[in-house]
Structures are given as C-alpha cells and as structure tokens.
Amino acid sequence: MEKLMRLVSMVPLFLIFGLPFAFAGHDYSQALSKSILFFEAQRSGYLPRNQRITWRANSGLNDGKASGVDLVGGYYDAGDNVKFGLPMAFTVTMMSWSIIEYGKQMAANGELRHAMEAVKWGTDYFIKAHPRPYVLYGEVGDGNSDHYCWQRPEDMTTDRRAYKIDPSNPGSDIAGETAAAMAAASIVFRRSNPAYSRELLRHAYQLFEFADKYRGKYDSSITVAQKYYRSVSGYNDELLWAAAWLYQASNNKYYLDYLGRNGDSMGGTGWAMSEFGWDVKYAGGSDPCCQGKAGHHAPVFERYHQKAEYFMCSLIGKGSRNIQKTPGGLIFRQRWNNMQFVTSASFLATVYSDYLTSSRRSLKCAAGNVAPSQLLAFTKSQVDYLLGDNPRATSYMVGYGNNYPRQVHHRGSSIVSIKVNPKFVACRQGYANWYTRKASDPNVLTGAVVGGPDAYDNFADERHNYEQTEPATYNNAPLLGILARLAGGHGRYNQILPVAVPTSNPVIAKPKPAPKPELTPTHASSSSPITIAQKMTSSWNAKGKTYYRYSTVVTNKSYKTLKDLKLSISKLYGPIWGLTKSGNSYGFPKWLTSLPAGKSLEFVYIHSASPADVSVSSYNLG
C-alpha cells in the first residue's frame, strides 16, 4: 500500500533497560506459516475441505438462528468459544494490513493464499453480521456462561445469544473498527476478486456512516462485553482509524478531510498513548499516507507525525521518556496477555521503518537522528525474544522450537479431539477431566502466540494461568506482517534487513573464556561422556547495575541415553531457567526426562557476576 497509515500518538510511560540478545537466526518463514495456521484452529462454523487443523470440527452451527439471522462462521477470539466482534474486527484489519504491506513476501513463502483465506473467513462473517445499513451484530455467546464451562467448541451447550447495535443502541467503536476491517480487506481483494472487494467497500461505507451518525460506546449497548472487552478509549479513535482506512481504500477526499477536521478534537494528535491494540487505535492512524495531500490540514497532519516519531524514539530508547521493558528486553505493558502489545507495536515499528527508508528520512529523536534500520532492529529483537531468544529460552509461539508452552489455556486444544473421542464433554465435566490435568494438551495449537512472561521474564506453563498461557487472534495478526518482512525483506523499498543488528547504546562486557568441561563427579578426564560449556551471550545496564546472561550447554558425548542427571551449581546469584531444582542439585527440566546420544541441553541464568561454577554430580547411562 502506497505509504500506508502509520503511527500517530503513543507516548511511553517507563524507562527502558533491556537489550536484544544475539542468537543464531530464526526460521521466520516457518514461524510465518505456523502463525497463519493458528487462525484455522479458531474458526467457527462449517469448516472447509482444505481445513489443515484436522482435530477441529464444525461448531456454532445455530449461531444467530434465534434472532432470525445467519451468524454462522467467524472466529473465536482466544481460549474460549465466544465470538467478540471488536477484537475480531481488529484482527481482520491487522491481517489485511500485513498483506497490503508484505503480501509479496508472503507469496514468496507460499503463504499469501492462506493469509487471504484467513481474512476472508472474517469478512464473510462480517457481511452476515451487517444485514442492514444501521444494524451490526457485535457478539455471539456470553462470556459469563462460556467461562463457567470448559467444553470443546463442537460440544457447546452455553448461551449462543446474538447481541446487536442499532440507532437506539449505538456502538461507534465496534462499527468503526468493522468498517476499517472491511475497507482494509477490500484493498486485499481488489485485484483477485474485484466484485467481492466492492461489496466489502460498500459495507465499510455504510458502517462508517452508522458509526459517525449514531454515536456511543458499544459496551453501553452490548453490556455483556464489558467484563471482557470494555471500550476504555471510547470511540473517537475508531472513527479516525476507519476514516483513514476508507481514504486508502477509496481515495475519497471526504475521509481525508474528516481526518484533518477531527484530528485534534477527537484526540488523534493530542493523546499521550502507551499502546496500540484492539481497544486503542490512535497509534494506527497516519500522517505519511497523506503527505503532500493534506492541503490546509497540513498542520494537523504534522502533529500526527510528531506523535508518531515520539513513540518510535521511545521504543528504541532514544526518547525523552522510554517504554518499560523486562530485564530480557521485551516490551512490557501489563501482566495479562502482554504479548499483544509486543506484536502490535513491533508491526508499527516495522512499517514506519520502511516508510522512513522509502522517503530517505531518518528518525528525529531527543538523543539525535536515528537510522530506520534501528527501528527494524528493535522489531527483530522483539520477535526473536518471542521465538525463544530470552532468559528462559522459551518460545512463546506454540509449536515453534522445542521449548514452547504445552498447557495452553484453550478449550479446544486441551480436550481430546472429537474426531478421536466423540463422547460428549459436558459443561463442568471439562473442568474436572481436562482443565485440571497436569499434562500437555492433546492437540497442539500450532502457531498460537500466548500471553507471555511477566515484567521479570518469568513464565509459568500452567493451564489455569490464563494471563500468560492464553492465546488470542490479535496477538498473531500483526505478527504476520513482521514475520513476512523479516523472512523476505521489503520488496517495495528494496530494503535489506541489516546483518549487524544495532542496539540502543548497550554496555557490552567482554565474554569470559568458556570453562573447561567439568565431568562426573568433578574433575573427570577428557574421555568423560558429558561436557559442559558456558558462554556469556549478552549484558546490559539496569538501574546502575550490570547484568550478564550466560548460556550453558550440557552435551551427551556417549553412545547411550543420559538419564538421572544431577548438576551442582555454585556461585549463582540470580534466576536460572531450563533446569529443575531438587534440594541442592539441579536436574532435567520438566519437559525432558533423558538426553539421547549426541544431543545437548541448554539452560540459561542471569546475574551480576562471573560465570557460576557448574559440574556434574551424578548420572546414569542406559
């Protein structure tokens, strides 16, 4: 999309003290494929013949029937079985934006068709949910009754009531976001399916008119949504966001003028924001899309631009106030599903970096001018953390890597597939038989991005820990574009991802020489079957103190399987990840019971000292 909508106003709250880790490169193409696949697990309705998540089956086949409307289809938002319209629409908007910006890279990786199918699954549902110009169904199901039960979507016995907005019960935020989704998707299908594209744009026009003419917050009309997706920011941000997308889709100057006239009064240029997501859209509207076209509204769009630059500077630690990060370098906004903010901010940084490159500009920050590549480096650091380059060496994308969440807070994933065991799972029976199990999910929720770690990089892989282990469609949607960009570069601007990823003035300590392998029991000979190698992978300053991250690799050099490993670790003054402590020794992590011949185990720890002393206390070979 020609110089598409960029950041407007996100002002950070906290001080940065993280640093990207330096690891071997990730397979972004594989991660992209898995991330798109996740949406097939979230499908509601009649599943198509080419459905690739085979443990799912048809569900929600009577949705809307009681209201005399066909609402079969759409997406379940997260780990439950409710169809919440606001986050679903944002998901579709962000998937569409990802395709618009990086569709060529998706095509090069063989994923463009799958991504477009994911968008169409959402827009087909929105067409059904918008049966008349001033009517939009914004929710199917009730979060309260749904959360009381733990059932597969195929077994649902919960209330499937449909909730709508209309002139008497308005919802400008959800109507505006759905208009944005339809407008963005119309661009996606403009060439491949022009008739469908025109239909989407027609719905977008009507929905925007509805949202603007009958103003009100949707959760004041659909009150059952308040506990789950409350519209805290109100509806002005969605009106600006929708107008920007409609201008891009139609080139109709009315929507450009709308942005210019209302940018100040609706908060688009003045709000100090610290997030971008399904609720707050101010950061997604744009001034670069309108450069040279703003006319007498130019001062307003310049203020959009200033807010965009302020936030970008804060992301890379070059602003007058910077965004909080964990010690491991991850953006941190809140404990509950923090990863949604990571992926959305990273997507905006990616797009803005490419915009700066295409316009041959640099980022003007309080600390000086910054090259666009540093924004891209920030994005890469966040994605690499998500994929496993973090203090825990945990991938927060299910199915990517070896150490990923196994007890995901997700009904369909946690209960045996109806195709394997068709026996009905009752409402409370699911809690008793499946929710409380301390075992891995029977169905791998491939590609799902879970909520992620806390402010100190800690994470508990437990099904009841919904704040950290529940996935959501809006976690994945912005990630599609980022992964496509990292996998294939930016074809439109011919920008190549830098090989040397710059950091925000880190303090790098010189690595200590790796200690000589310590073998069973303490001073074993070079013929010992176990080797231990340590290295420092990164360091950073936080609140006047220098922290070091050490990676330790234990390798089974024998021709037999290593079992019952016990390690002795002394002079350790910080947290450790990747081992299980038992008394005064450490053993295999919970997800590992043995180490095959020739294989290695990696664990990591962080402290403000030289490497800890690690040695083998005991083991068995068999």
How far is 465 from 319, CA to CA, in rounded Å?
Answer: 35
Which of the 8 DSSP states describes residue 552? E
Percent of the chain with pLDDT over 90: 69
Asked if residues 210 and 133 have their Cβ atoms less than 8 Å apart, the reply is yes
**215 vs 550, higher pLDDT:** 215
Core vs surface per residue 285-321: b (16+ CB within 10 A) or e: bbbbbbeeebeebeebbebbbebbbbbbbbbbbbbeb
Asked if residues 530 and 616 have their Cβ atoms less than 8 Å apart, the reply is yes
Q: Does the annotation count 309 as an active-site position?
A: no
- Active-site position among 101, 354, 389, 461: 461
pLDDT tens digit sequence for 575-617: 888 898 888 899 998 778 899 988 888 888 888 888 999 999 9
The dihedral region occupied by 179, where left means phi > 0, alpha psi between -120 and 50, and beta the remainder, is alpha
146: closest CA among 431, 461, 405?
Answer: 431
Q: Strand 562-570 vs strand 594-595: parallel, antiparallel, or unpaired?
A: antiparallel
pLDDT tens digit sequence for 182-222: 999 999 999 999 999 999 999 999 999 999 999 999 999 99
pLDDT tens digit sequence for 151-176: 999 999 999 999 999 999 999 999 99
Q: What is the pLDDT of residue 499?
A: 25
In this prediction, residue 541 has a pLDDT band, given cuts at 50, 70 and 90, of low
Two tokens, residue 321: 């106030």
How far is 331 from 349, CA to CA, in rounded Å?
Answer: 13
In this prediction, residue 13 has a pLDDT band, given cuts at 50, 70 and 90, of very low
Q: Does the annotation count 159 as an active-site position?
A: no
Torsion sign (Cα): 208, 209, 210, 212: positive
In this prediction, residue 501 has a pLDDT band, given cuts at 50, 70 and 90, of very low
**525 vs 201, higher pLDDT:** 201
How far is 253 from 255, CA to CA, in rounded Å?
Answer: 5
- Active-site position among 40, 177, 275, 470: 470
Strands annotated E in 330-469: 363-365, 368-370
Q: What is the pLDDT of residue 526?
A: 54
341: closest CA among 287, 371, 292, 382?
Answer: 382
Torsion sign (Cα): 498, 501, 504, 507: negative
In this prediction, residue 544 has a pLDDT band, given cuts at 50, 70 and 90, of low
Q: Does the annotation count 275 as an active-site position?
A: no
Asked if residues 311 and 283 have their Cβ atoms less than 8 Å apart, the reply is yes
How far is 89 from 177, CA to CA, in rounded Å?
Answer: 6
pLDDT tens digit sequence for 333-381: 999 999 999 999 999 999 999 999 999 999 998 889 999 999 999 999 9
Asked if residues 137 and 68 have their Cβ atoms less than 8 Å apart, the reply is no
pLDDT(31) > 50: yes
3-state class (DSSP) for residue 600: strand
552 forms beta bridges with 534, 603
pLDDT tens digit sequence for 220-241: 999 999 999 999 999 999 999 9
Which of the 8 DSSP states describes residue 332? -
pLDDT tens digit sequence for 104-125: 999 999 999 999 999 999 999 9
Secondary structure (H, E, C), 505-535? CCCCCCCCCCCCCCCCCCCCCCCCCEEEEEE
Asked if residues 521 and 618 have their Cβ atoms less than 8 Å apart, the reply is yes
Asked if residues 62 and 159 have their Cβ atoms less than 8 Å apart, the reply is no
pLDDT(8) > 50: no
pLDDT(388) > 80: yes
**259 vs 309, higher pLDDT:** 259
How far is 204 from 285, CA to CA, in rounded Å?
Answer: 17
Which of the 8 DSSP states describes residue 169? B
How far is 74 from 84, CA to CA, in rounded Å?
Answer: 10
The dihedral region occupied by 497, where left means phi > 0, alpha psi between -120 and 50, and beta the remainder, is beta
Asked if residues 63 and 83 have their Cβ atoms less than 8 Å apart, the reply is yes
pTM over 0.95, yes/no? no
pLDDT(527) > 70: no
**38 vs 291, higher pLDDT:** 38
In this prediction, residue 540 has a pLDDT band, given cuts at 50, 70 and 90, of low
Angle formed at CA 508 by CA 504 and CA 511, multiple of 5 degrees: 150
Could you give the domains of the chain? 28-488 (1.50.10.10), 530-621 (2.60.40)
In this prediction, residue 548 has a pLDDT band, given cuts at 50, 70 and 90, of confident
pLDDT tens digit sequence for 421-443: 999 999 999 999 999 999 999 99
How far is 341 from 331, CA to CA, in rounded Å?
Answer: 8
The residues near 501 (Cβ < 8 Å, ≥ 6 apart) are 20, 22, 377, 380, 381
Lowest mean pLDDT segment, chosen from 249-258, 422-431, 481-490: 481-490
pLDDT(37) > 90: yes
Asked if residues 414 and 407 have their Cβ atoms less than 8 Å apart, the reply is yes
Asked if residues 21 and 390 have their Cβ atoms less than 8 Å apart, the reply is yes
Percent of the chain with pLDDT over 70: 87
Span between the terminal Cα atoms of the chain, in Å: 59
Task: State the CB neighbour count (10 A cutoff) for residue 244.
Answer: 30
For the chain, give the mean pLDDT. Answer: 87
Question: How large is the average pLDDT for residues 243-272?
Answer: 90
How far is 396 from 34, CA to CA, in rounded Å?
Answer: 12
Render 196-255 in DSSP notation, one character per residue. Answer: HHHHHHHHHHHHHHHHHHS---HHHHSGGGTTTS--TT-SHHHHHHHHHHHHHHH--HHH
Asked if residues 221 and 171 have their Cβ atoms less than 8 Å apart, the reply is yes
Torsion sign (Cα): 523, 524, 530, 534: positive
pLDDT tens digit sequence for 445-464: 999 999 999 999 999 999 99
Residue given tokens 């959760």 in the structure block: 219
The C-alpha torsion from 156 through 465 and 476 to 446, rounded to 10°, is -70
Q: What is the pLDDT of residue 291?
A: 59
Task: State the CB neighbour count (10 A cutoff) for residue 163.
Answer: 20
Q: What is the pLDDT of residue 100?
A: 97
Two tokens, residue 103: 């569709």
Q: If you count them, how many residues does the chain have?
A: 622
- Active-site position among 26, 297, 409, 410: 409
pLDDT(505) > 80: no
The C-alpha torsion from 381 through 384 and 389 to 391, rounded to 10°, is 60
Task: State the CB neighbour count (10 A cutoff) for residue 560.
Answer: 12
